[in-house]
Amino acid sequence: MAPPVSIWESLAVFAAGIGAGTINTIVGSGTLITFPVLLATGLPPVTANVSNTLGLVPGSISGAIGYRKELRGQRARILRLGAVSLVGGCAGAVLLLTLPSDSFDTIVPVLIGLALVLVILQPRLAKALRRRQDAAGSDTGHPDGGPALLTGMLFSSAYGGYFGAAQGVLYLGLMGLLLRDDLQRINAVKNVIAAMVNGVAAVVFLFVAEFDWTAVLLIAVGSTIGGQIGAKVGRRLPPTALRAVIVTVGILAIVQLLVR
């Protein structure tokens, strides 16, 4: 059973939810903000991860709604990518619940480290996308990414259902490299897919996993606010400063997990 949460810890979780909702909508990787804060309140890693996933669902939906303009004309793409992503997200959630908790304690620092590498490399992925699109002819490549994108989204979503830090960055990297489309439209699809994957994992967790309702509600409200903030500034704000915050907090999370 988790220890009682103080008013200051509650405020910290709420603020982390706002930050995560904002960052998830703009870049992805908001879990690297909320997860270490939940650990700091005394929640066990698996309980913190489940509570975080549940709490971030409203924020993902909020961010997707904020990007609704860029979603126009992408229904078929969302249905196709969403179908395989739902399967992957469900598989990841089941893995979290079936593997021993000691396995999660061991794996998560490695996952966070890999997520931080992806966060750092994301600008290079975006530049590679622009160079690829500039060099490619109009008939080059599959218009919807083909089997390579479907396979990548399946495994990325399984990762998202299991933990999810930098899940959005994975989606941006895959779709950015394999789709010939505007980055803002790709980001809009990323927000919808993330909401779907987090949602299916949350449904699984609601029935069979242990979570903390206080943490869930605080993150849910905060991330919903953050999703709207992220949608407003995401088209204008360079993500460099946010990326620096994510990396810093992620490193602190790794240290905290290793010394528990």
Confidence of residue 241 (pLDDT cuts 50, 70, 90): confident
What pLDDT sits at residue 137? 57
Mean pLDDT of the chain: 85
Measured in Å, how far apart are the chain's first and last C-alpha atoms?
17
DSSP letters along 180-240, please?
-S-HHHHHHHHHHHHHHHHHHHHHHHHHH----HHHHHHHHHHHHHHHHHHHHHTTT--TH
Per-residue pLDDT band for 85 (boundaries 50, 70, 90) equals: very high
Question: Which residues does 132 contact at the CB level (< 8 Å), separation at least 6?
Answer: 177
State the pLDDT confidence band at 242, using cuts at 50, 70 and 90: low
199-208 residue pLDDT tens = 999 999 988 8
- Contact indicator for 227, 75 with CB cutoff of 8 Å: no
In this prediction the pTM is 0.82
Q: What is the pLDDT of residue 1?
A: 47
HSE-CB of 219 using CA atoms within 13 angstroms: 28
Token representation of residue 221: 């409200």
Using DSSP's 3-state secondary structure scheme, residue 2 falls into coil
Residues 234-254, mean pLDDT to the nearest whole number: 72
242 vs 65: which has the higher pLDDT: 65
* Confidence band for 2, pLDDT divided at 50, 70 and 90: low
